[in-house]
Amino acid sequence: MKRFILFLALGLILLSSFAAYSEMEHKNKEGQQMMHHKATDSKDTRIQLNVPDMMKEHQKTMMREHLKAVNEIVGALAANDFELVSQTAHKKLGLTDEMRNMCSMFGNQEFEKIGLEFHTKADELGDIAKTKDLNKTLLALDTMLKRCNQCHSMFKQ
């Protein structure tokens, strides 16, 4: 009888450790699947514009010019030079014929819409800067920058 109880106890211990082990295995597998899922979810979901090769460098150069202009604007704001803020916004980021053409070149209406809105917001920034009101100018800059980010989160070359 004693032997039987010992045997039973051993059996139970073995059984429960096997159950714990297989539960762990299961959790591990789930974890791996979740990680795999995450990797797929974080895939680049931006819309591809299919920019022709010969345009790619040109577009990127323009983009770097945009960033330089924003840099110039922030520097001018820090120096209280509202005239320069206004000029840079209008001349380098505002809606010129060249910018209008660039925005319509890729045959994507949503891209064009955001692009035109962005240049319009740049002109608004240029106008508001003339009031020399720092807070309003910063708000206008913020509004404009949101268009840069809106487009970047949706599109790629």
Alpha carbon distances (Å) from 8 to 1, 21, 22: 10, 20, 21
Q: If binding means CB under 6 A, how many residues of this protein chain bind ligand HEC?
A: 18
CB of 110 to ligand HEC, least distance (A): 9
Instruction: Give 16 or 150: the residue with its C-beta nearer to ligand HEC.
Output: 150
Instruction: Give 82 or 118: the residue with its C-beta nearer to ligand HEC.
Output: 118
Instruction: Give 4 or 47: the residue with its C-beta nearer to ligand HEC.
Output: 47
Contact region for ligand HEC (CB under 6 A) — 8-16, 18-26, 110-118, 131-139? Answer: 110-118
Residue 66 to residue 54: CA distance in whole angstroms: 20
Q: Which of 85, 95, 114, 128 binds ligand HEC (CB under 6 A)?
A: 114
Alpha carbon distances (Å) from 61 to 50, 52, 74: 17, 15, 20
Residue 16 to residue 11: CA distance in whole angstroms: 9
Which of the residues 39 through 78 are near ligand HEC (CB under 6 A)? 49, 60, 63-64, 66-67, 70
The sign of the dihedral angle between the CA atoms of 3, 8, 9, 10 is positive
**Is 157 a residue that touches ligand HEC (CB under 6 A)?**
yes
Residue 25 to residue 103: CA distance in whole angstroms: 54
Tokens of 118: 């962005």
Residues lying near ligand HEC in the complex (CB under 6 A) are found at: 49, 60, 63-64, 66-67, 70, 111, 114-115, 118, 147-148, 151-152, 155-157
